Amino acid sequence: MSADRVVMVLVYAAAYAVAVFCGAQAVDAGQHLSAAGLFVTSTGLLAGIHREFRGAARQAVAAGRQGARPPARADKTVRRTCAVPAGCSCETWWTTLGCQHDQHCPALTRKDPR
């Protein structure tokens, strides 16, 4: 895992810990709406941590093969392992917990032609 990814995981983890702690304090103080917002925020931070580890896994698979497989095939292996929709390369999918895609994402299927 690269140093940049480690730093991002540490930032996400610290923010996650703060959000969970503040959420627990809000529940204790009786501010349930604030607590719900903080716990939802902490879930988004967990998605960010997962995204960083997934990116590191993609790099490790590509580097481990060193020419035996092209990077696109290594990317498919990581995607199958992480249960990401085929062709998805957008950040919105991660931050919405798999509910939405970016407009430019190839995994986006439209039912209404625009």
pLDDT tens track for 53-106? 888 888 777 766 555 555 555 555 555 555 556 566 676 666 666 667 777 676
Tokens of 105: 């994402």
Two tokens at 54? 């997934």
User: Residue 94 is part of which domain span?
Assistant: 85-114
Domain match, 90 and 51 both: no
Residues 39 and 78 in one domain: yes
Residue 99 makes CB contacts below 8 A (sequence gap 6+) with: none
Q: 63 with 97, same domain?
A: no
Given a cut of 70, whether residue 47 has pLDDT beyond it is yes
What is the pLDDT of the chain when averaged over all its residues? Answer: 77
- Half-sphere exposure of 1 toward its Cβ, with a 13 Å CA cutoff? 15
Task: Give the pLDDT of residue 18.
Answer: 96
* 107 plus 89 within the same structural domain: yes
The sign one gets for the Cα dihedral 7, 10, 43, 29 is negative
Cα 48 to Cα 11: distance, rounded to the nearest angstrom: 10
- The pLDDT assigned to 33 comes to 96
Count: domains in the chain = 2
38 and 68 inside one domain: yes
